Amino acid sequence: MYPDQRGGGVSDAPHASVLLKPVLDFLRPRAGVGFRALDCTVGAGGHSFGLLDRSSPDGRLVGLDADPYALELAVAALAPFQSRFSLLDRNFSELAELDLEPMDAIVFDLGLSSMQLESSGRGFSFRLDEPLDMRFDPRSERRTAAELLNTLPEAELERVLREYGEEPRARRVARIIAQRRQTRAFQRTGDLVAAVTAALGGARGRIHPATRTFQALRIAVNEELGALEAGLDAAVQLLRPGGRLAVISFHSLEDRIVKWRFRAWADQGGVHILTRKPITPDNQELQLNPRARSAKLRVVERIA
Ligand SMILES: C[S@@+](CC[C@H](N)C(=O)[O-])C[C@H]1O[C@@H](n2cnc3c(N)ncnc32)[C@H](O)[C@@H]1O
């Protein structure tokens, strides 16, 4: 369980959600129209809170999260809305199987939450020394980051680092990992930071040299890109005519998938794209929440 990270803010809303205002403005939660929303990445419940709050007293919400501990927090955060929401600890890659009703609004806020980064104990951050797990759902049978590091063939490791981390020196990092694991298996984030530092040198400038490697492993462990494709395809099918889908991505691999999916649906006449260019956080948001700096929001509306 995470510590309660709710802190001040608007009414009792949980922490600062990325691009909250534009998401709510696009998704138009409102009362008296049987408004239904789906939050595919509930996390601490910030976007869900806004959707329920602005559609009071009758709007309803279904929320998903692959991380069961995140949902425990969300239940507490959304308690004021009592019976108007239901939360499911499911991966959005399984959305098509969930048999949900048509929705007016769907949101994906991809990646991981600051709670997962800072206090999950699952090795998402290179700043903390923790076991190398990185699974959003620690009960799943997916291979952990340590298992991937200790078992993937060197060439496959290189591909993961290059494709999912966009690490230009992937070959060198993969080589050092493959050498080091012969004498001692990777177990903790500190082992990985030491290997990347040995390959690329120590921290210089604002971006830590292990940033790309950690991103790559997290994406590989959770098969995030495949999940996103499946989740988006199921989500657009769930929209009512006039319903809107908003997606916040945090790196170019995700944003590319979102952009191309939206274009393909628009070409088929299924949606209007409402964001010709992605919406990004303004200076005020960036000052409050520097982690939002790479966020991009894209939105489509289902055509009747
Ligand atoms: C950035 S956080 C969401 C924060 C949330 N919008 C808020 O305002 O508090 C992303 C959440 O998505 C979840 N997540 C990531 N990939 C997922 C997937 N494939 N299926 C379900 N949940 C996922 C993570 O566990 C994390 O809790």
Span 2-13, pLDDT tens digits? 433 333 333 444
For residue 221, the CA-to-ligand 1 centroid distance in Å is 15
The total domain count for the chain is 2
Question: Among 201, 222, 243, which residue terminates a domain?
Answer: 222
43 Cβ inside 6 Å of ligand 1: yes
- Tell me what pLDDT residue 205 has: 73
Claim to verify: residue 53 and residue 190 sit in the same structural domain: no
For residue 36, the CA-to-ligand 1 centroid distance in Å is 19
242 φ/ψ angles, rounded to the nearest 5 degrees: 85, -10
37 φ/ψ angles, rounded to the nearest 5 degrees: -130, 155
144 Cβ inside 6 Å of ligand 1: no
For residue 112, the CA-to-ligand 1 centroid distance in Å is 6
- The answer to whether residue 149 is domain-embedded is yes
From atom 7 of ligand 1, which residue's Cα is the shortest distance away? 46
Cα 40 from Cα 58, distance rounded (Å) = 20
Question: Among 169, 196, 222, which residue terminates a domain?
Answer: 222
- The answer to whether residue 292 is domain-embedded is yes
Any bridge partners for residue 209, and if so which?
none
158 Cβ inside 6 Å of ligand 1: no
- Tell me what pLDDT residue 10 has: 36
The shares of helix, strand and coil residues in the chain, as percent rounded to the nearest 5, are 45, 15, 40
45 Cβ inside 6 Å of ligand 1: yes
Claim to verify: residue 287 and residue 151 sit in the same structural domain: no
Span 138-180, pLDDT tens digits? 999 999 999 999 999 999 999 999 999 999 999 999 999 999 9
Span 69-128, pLDDT tens digits? 999 999 999 999 989 999 999 999 999 999 999 999 999 999 999 889 998 999 999 999
Question: Among 190, 222, 254, which residue terminates a domain?
Answer: 222
| Angle at CA of residue 279, ends 227 and 216, nearest 5° | 35
Distinct helix (H) and strand (E) counts, the chain: 12, 7
Span 233-272, pLDDT tens digits? 999 999 999 999 999 999 999 999 999 999 999 999 999 9
Claim to verify: residue 208 and residue 274 sit in the same structural domain: no
Structural domain for 155, as ranges: 143-222
- The answer to whether residue 122 is domain-embedded is no
51 Cβ inside 6 Å of ligand 1: no
Span 201-230, pLDDT tens digits? 877 777 889 999 999 999 999 999 999 999
pTM check: above 0.85 = yes
